[in-house]
Amino acid sequence: MDRRTFIASSLAAGAVVMNHRVEASVPSSRHRAGEPFKLKYAPHHGMFRHHAGADYLDQLKFAADQGFRAWEDNGMMGRPAELQERAGALMQELGMTMGVFVADAEFGKPNYARGGAETRGALQEKMRRAVACAKRVHAKWCTVVPGRFDARLEWDYQTVNVVDCLKAMCEVAEPAGLVMVLEPLNPWRDHPGEFLTKIPQAYLICKAVGSSSCKILDDLYHQQITEGNLIPNLDLAWDEIAYIQVGDNPGRKEPTTGEINYRNVFKHLHAKKFDGVVGMEHGLSRGGKEGEQALIDAYRWCDDFVV
User: What's the pLDDT tens digit per position in 184-202?
Assistant: 999 999 999 999 999 999 9
Q: Which residue, 168, 181, 185, 68, is CA-closest to 119?
A: 168
Q: Which helix (H) or strand (E) holds 105?
A: strand 102-105
Instruction: With a cut of 50, say whether residue 15 has pLDDT above it.
Output: no
Q: What span, in angstroms and rounded, lies between the C-alpha atoms of 63 and 96? A: 10
Across the chain, mean pLDDT equals: 92
Instruction: With a cut of 80, say whether residue 32 has pLDDT above it.
Output: no
Domain 3-302 has CATH 2.130.10.10: no
DSSP string, 189-204: TT-TTBS---HHHHHH
What value does the mean pLDDT take over residues 10-24?
A: 42
Residue ranges of domains in the chain: 3-302
The per-residue pLDDT for 33 is: 74
Count CB atoms within 10 A of the CB of residue 273: 6
The per-residue pLDDT for 29 is: 55
Predicted confidence band of residue 8 (pLDDT cuts 50, 70, 90): very low
Q: What span, in angstroms and rounded, lies between the C-alpha atoms of 87 and 101? A: 13
| Residue 179 and residue 218 in contact, taking contact as beta carbons nearer than 8 Å | no
Instruction: With a cut of 80, say whether residue 27 has pLDDT above it.
Output: no
Predicted confidence band of residue 34 (pLDDT cuts 50, 70, 90): confident
Predicted confidence band of residue 31 (pLDDT cuts 50, 70, 90): low
Predicted confidence band of residue 173 (pLDDT cuts 50, 70, 90): very high
Give tens-digit pLDDT for 218-272.
999 999 999 999 999 999 999 999 999 999 999 999 999 999 999 999 999 999 9
| Residue 237 and residue 217 in contact, taking contact as beta carbons nearer than 8 Å | no
Q: What span, in angstroms and rounded, lies between the C-alpha atoms of 98 and 153? A: 38
| Residue 301 and residue 23 in contact, taking contact as beta carbons nearer than 8 Å | no
Predicted confidence band of residue 39 (pLDDT cuts 50, 70, 90): very high
pTM, to two decimals = 0.90
Q: What span, in angstroms and rounded, lies between the C-alpha atoms of 164 and 305? A: 42
Of all residues in the chain, the percent with pLDDT exceeding 90 is 88
Cβ-based burial of 237 (10 A; exposed 0-12, middle 13-18, buried ≥19): buried
Give tens-digit pLDDT for 136-172.
999 999 999 999 999 999 999 999 999 999 999 999 9
Q: Examine residue 232 and say whether the peptide bond preceding it is cis (omega within 30 degrees of 0).
A: no
Give tens-digit pLDDT for 55-104.
999 999 999 999 999 999 999 999 999 999 999 999 999 999 999 999 99
Instruction: With a cut of 50, say whether residue 10 has pLDDT above it.
Output: no
Predicted confidence band of residue 28 (pLDDT cuts 50, 70, 90): low
Q: What is the 3-state secondary structure (H, E, C) of 202-265?
A: HHHHHHHHCCCCEEEEEEHHHHHHHCCCHHHHHHHCHHHEEEEEECCCCCCCCCCCCCCCHHHH
| Alpha carbon distances (Å) from 12 to 4, 19, 25 | 13, 11, 20
Predicted confidence band of residue 135 (pLDDT cuts 50, 70, 90): very high
The per-residue pLDDT for 189 is: 97
Q: What span, in angstroms and rounded, lies between the C-alpha atoms of 169 and 39? A: 30
Largest CA distance in the chain: 78
Give tens-digit pLDDT for 91-130.
999 999 999 999 999 999 999 999 999 999 999 999 999 9
Predicted confidence band of residue 11 (pLDDT cuts 50, 70, 90): very low
Q: What span, in angstroms and rounded, lies between the C-alpha atoms of 148 and 33? A: 43
